Amino acid sequence: MKKFSIITASLFLILSLMGCGMNKTKEEIDKVEDKVTGQTGSDVKTNDDVVNKEEKRLEVADEAADRIVKMEEVESANVIVTNHNAYVAVVLHEGVEGTKQIEDKIAEEARAANKDFNNVYVSMNPDFVKQTTDYGNKIRAGEPVEGFFEEFSDTVKRVFPDAH
């Protein structure tokens, strides 16, 4: 009977301590995790943080745009890059028709400027040209990309429905 009392008391103590551990706040849990990892909450990066940061990065590829503008058919060009995909907005010189052959030639120039481009999408759509110019100016001015990334993504989906 004495053994039964000791076992019951031990189980009661263990269950009580487990219950107390379950009531920790997120801050208390984070502090314990910080002690274990040696990192503070702001230093801890998860895979989701890295993926989301990568997905929401927009850059201006001025070197590629400059190379495209040197083409005799092209009056102006802007190139925005996200996830190694280049989105090229061009204005052709008056009288030049925007054919598939011209698009391919422009895409080749973009790839020649940066071999890291996985895909190059070319558009001569005046609305896309205007929006890409605006985005490029905002990026160059150092405005936070998060503010217009979703809008850019929606625009790309509309102009290039086959792009992923």
* Residue, of 9 and 149, whose pLDDT is higher: 149
CA of residue 13 relative to chain centroid, distance? 50
Q: Which CATH architecture has domain 59-159?
A: 2-Layer Sandwich (3.30)
pLDDT, tens digit, 9 for 90 and up, residues 67-81: 999 999 999 999 999
Q: What is the pTM of this model?
A: 0.64
- pLDDT at site 43: 41
pLDDT, tens digit, 9 for 90 and up, residues 31-46: 544 443 344 444 433 3
* 74: number of Cβ within 10 Å: 22
Separation of alpha carbons 92 and 126, rounded Å: 11
* 155: number of Cβ within 10 Å: 20
Residue labelled with tokens 């990568």 = 54
